[in-house]
């Protein structure tokens, strides 16, 4: 089956003024789309052609000869996940099961925020910061480039893209401001709860 580009779960201007329509136009329409096109080109005519995206990611993650495919396929998945981690009017302290689990595993929401911001700010170069479930415990981790918790048998609950293309048009070099805005104004905790 061909890998497809999912639609954004909101209009392109829905996250303004925090993330502009121009950023989403490039990020979804150009960057995410290119990963989809590249993945389809790389699986065409191979034994991976009819597999689902998650299987393609897991198989290519452990095959050094398929590093190029892994980079593109993982980026397809990471971006599809990232769009759903945001919503207009989101952000701030969570509710529901994830709120209780954050208090239990990090001590407080403030401690989670500090860990998540730190992971995003200290990921050198391109990558992602994540809230994951690992052996029943919440953890904050960062991954470089296309790397993804899927490849490490961890369950992703929340991610923020810290590649420059995610924020440069709106924040230029101010990655920490983008991270603060993501946390305070954009996180879709309903989605995070649905993943838990
Ligand atoms: Mn991106």
What is the distance in A from the centroid of ligand 1 to the CA of 144?
12
* Domain residue ranges of the chain, discontinuous segments joined by +: 21-84, 96-195
Q: Is 9 exposed, middle or buried (0-12, 13-18, 19+ CB in 10 A)?
A: middle
CB 193 within 8 A of CB 153: no
Question: Tens digit of pLDDT per residue, the chain (196 long)?
Answer: 699 999 999 999 999 999 999 999 999 999 999 999 999 999 999 999 999 999 999 999 999 999 999 999 999 999 999 999 999 999 999 999 999 999 999 999 999 999 999 999 999 999 999 999 999 999 999 999 999 999 999 999 999 999 999 999 999 999 999 999 999 999 999 999 999 9
pLDDT of residue 97: 97
What is the distance in A from the centroid of ligand 1 to the CA of 161?
6
What is the distance in A from the centroid of ligand 1 to the CA of 104?
31
Largest CA distance in the chain: 50
96-195 CATH fold: minor pseudopilin epsh fold (3.55.40)
Ramachandran area for residue 94 (φ above 0: left; ψ -120 to 50: alpha; else beta): beta
CB 35 within 8 A of CB 75: yes
pLDDT of residue 190: 98
Supply the pTM of this predicted model: 0.97
pLDDT of residue 130: 98
- Tell me: domain 21-84, CATH 1.10.287.990, correct? yes
Q: Where are the beta strands (DSSP E) in 87-175?
A: 127-134, 137-144, 155-161
Q: Is the bond leading into 17 cis (omega within 30 degrees of zero)?
A: yes
pLDDT of residue 15: 98
What is the distance in A from the centroid of ligand 1 to the CA of 109?
26
pLDDT of residue 11: 98
């Amino acid at each position: 089956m061909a890998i497809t580009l999912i639609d954004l779960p909101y209009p392109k201007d829905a996250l303004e003024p925090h993330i502009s329509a121009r950023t989403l136009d490039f990020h979804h329409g150009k960057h995410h789309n290119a990963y989809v096109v590249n993945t389809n080109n790389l699986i065409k005519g191979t034994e991976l052609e009819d597999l689902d995206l998650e299987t393609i990611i897991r198989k290519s993650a452990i095959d050094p000869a398929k590093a190029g495919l892994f980079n593109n396929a993982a980026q397809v998945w990471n971006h599809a996940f990232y769009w759903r981690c945001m919503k207009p009017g989101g952000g701030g302290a969570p509710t529901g099961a994830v709120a209780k689990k954050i208090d239990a595993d990090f001590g407080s929401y403030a401690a989670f925020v500090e860990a998540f911001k730190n992971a995003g700010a200290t990921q050198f170069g391109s990558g992602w910061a994540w809230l994951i479930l690992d052996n029943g415990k919440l953890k904050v981790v960062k991954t470089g480039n296309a790397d993804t918790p899927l490849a490490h048998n961890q369950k992703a609950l929340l991610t923020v893209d810290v590649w420059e293309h995610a924020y440069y048009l709106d924040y230029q070099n101010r990655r920490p401001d983008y991270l603060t805005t993501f946390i305070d104004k954009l996180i879709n905790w309903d989605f995070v709860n649905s993943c838990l």
